[in-house]
Structure 1
């Protein structure tokens, strides 16, 4: 049985966690191969950035993680505060060098603060790249891959790329047949499309898209209302062909794409200033009203903006 310890902290990403655990759980449905334990600094209830709680084991009283074969550190909006948690950083820095250490998204900051990334190449979410480069200029960080495996360190770009990394881990541990079977069960691609040209909503991939200028316009002018007809004209395409090609490229409609990045922007604004009104955030993110914004937020996050604010 391969023993995995997952490390979380207040305001960790539930998406990051579920991307990993769902893959390991899928493997275990056929034959138990992974044993997963979840730790936090204090133990007990740990609240995610989405407001949902999980129960965790404690890292207090000199608890060691060296009995595990793989340690996975989650990302999430709480990573900056977690980086100052002496217990968390001490546990990571004291890990044996033969242990596989995985960082999801902004979890890479904790590994950097723990001082275990010397001579390693890593990756993280595109929004974290500038801050990481500023704080750790001597650590090589790349935006060319969804995930990177360098020695005993693995890192992913965040979002749903955690699934790609988890499938890669299964393949590394138990071979391609089981990895493919697991991917098929989860209805995902198992072949390693581990390049920056993957279909993704992340901004770093726009340079490889046929819709480059259009998507750049989206990200830089979220407060503008766009009609699909206007977008099709901008791309010199018929409305029918534009919708078909856009969905083929990104897996969602143009309308849904805009909604997703607007919700992501709203979360960023809330995290920067939780005293902003719903009306202010709705306007800045291009929603017609606070009501339409709240409905879209609930539709995408399964939580209302007001409840989300209570978790900050």
Structure 2
């Protein structure tokens, strides 16, 4: 099938086209803004007539400059936020830079009428300043989580996720995690197949597992202990379906209980239980993509007590059921 012939019939949550408005401000974060433009603003005729309408709203008066010396023209001012179905806050000019009260008021008013609001990376500080995140979970780039937690104690800051949110307010972690969040919105609005097609155009995975812990610099274990852990990881990869306890793993690694836990987390950024769960889920995605095994069979092969347990953890990790993931993955392979 040629690219021009690849046309999707996509569902729409509304009869009218969904309008996405991205904020622009002096000192605009170019990459984060580009994510919003690429996902929501790029014409996609293969998606049919109900794809997003996209506009850019200026927060500041006068000429707007973006990172890299780019000068920007917008479609209007903050009045555009009153017409938005989704508002994207693509970063912010500095985590200590004040947020204009008028912007806070406009965001609160938009949310009150049912508008969906998302932030990418440091844009979370705009949502926090507006009070939209009080009593909610939120995330941001790992460099900023401590500052966010200290300045806004009413927010439950989640460190090790790519994006998080509910009830129309969502936040993403580091800049590239904005792609994951925006693809999640496409999946919500137009279905798995549409999100998969957009991801394929971007040459990115439709679903990334894991969080930010892998990006944080951690101390390297001593050479001898590293060798022991390396042998342990080889053993675990070959025996994921077996039952494992911290005691049994520490004994196999030749370490005491506390030393093992400390060295394991230094090496992986995770507890043994979290690491095992992530590896089992990753193995499950491989079976879903490359085999015709049932969910029950995959659960047994990957070390889950039953299919229900696999479905529960899978949906928590990927926001999809195993069968939805398989459908998405197979659709991606057909288009390659």
- What's the TM-score once normalised by structure 2's chain length? 0.56
Distance 1:135 1:86 in 2: 17
**Residue-by-residue CA offset, 1:227-264 (whole Å, 9 max, x unaligned):** xxxxx9xx77xxxxxxxxxxxxxxxxxxxxxxxxxxxx
From 28, 35, 38, the equivalent of 2:44 is 28
Please, what is the CA RMSD of the aligned residues? 2.7
Moved more, 24-33 or 86-95: 24-33
Distance 1:17 1:29 in 2: 22
The aligned counterpart of 2:182 is 166
The aligned counterpart of 1:7 is 23
DSSP 3-state at the match of 2:154: coil
**Residue-by-residue CA offset, 1:186-227 (whole Å, 9 max, x unaligned):** 11000242x3168x6x32xx5xxxxx435x9xxxxxxxxxxx
State how 1:51-130 maps to structure 2 within 5 Å: 51-59=69-77, 63=79, 65-83=81-99, 85-97=100-112, 98-130=114-146
How far off is 1:24 after superposition? 2.4
Query: Which stretches in structure 1 are left out of the alignment for 5+ residues?
Result: 207-211, 217-231, 237-312
Distance 2:77 2:212 in 1: 39
Question: Whose Rg is larger?
Answer: 2
The aligned counterpart of 2:66 is 48
**Number of aligned positions between the proteins:** 207
- Describe the shift of the 1:197–1:77 C-alpha distance in structure 2 as closer, same or farther (beyond 3 A): closer
Query: Which stretches in structure 2 are left out of the alignment for 5+ residues?
Result: 1-16, 228-336
Note if contact 1:69-1:99 (Cα within 8 Å) is conserved in structure 2.
Answer: yes
How far off is 1:160 after superposition? 0.9
The aligned counterpart of 2:247 is none
Note if contact 2:92-2:125 (Cα within 8 Å) is conserved in structure 1.
Answer: no
The aligned counterpart of 1:189 is 205
The aligned counterpart of 1:38 is 56
- Give 4+ residue runs of structure 1 displaced > 4 Å after superposition: none
- Greater relative CO, 1 or 2 (CA 8 Å, sep 6+): 1
Note if contact 2:104-2:126 (Cα within 8 Å) is conserved in structure 1.
Answer: yes
DSSP 3-state at the match of 1:17: helix
DSSP 3-state at the match of 1:155: strand
How far off is 1:166 after superposition? 1.1
- Describe the shift of the 1:182–1:122 C-alpha distance in structure 2 as closer, same or farther (beyond 3 A): same
- Describe the shift of the 1:7–1:79 C-alpha distance in structure 2 as closer, same or farther (beyond 3 A): farther
Distance 1:57 1:130 in 2: 35
- Describe the shift of the 1:82–1:6 C-alpha distance in structure 2 as closer, same or farther (beyond 3 A): farther
Distance 1:115 1:133 in 2: 14
- Describe the shift of the 1:128–1:142 C-alpha distance in structure 2 as closer, same or farther (beyond 3 A): same
The aligned counterpart of 2:173 is 157
- Describe the shift of the 1:131–1:79 C-alpha distance in structure 2 as closer, same or farther (beyond 3 A): closer
Distance 2:54 2:132 in 1: 23
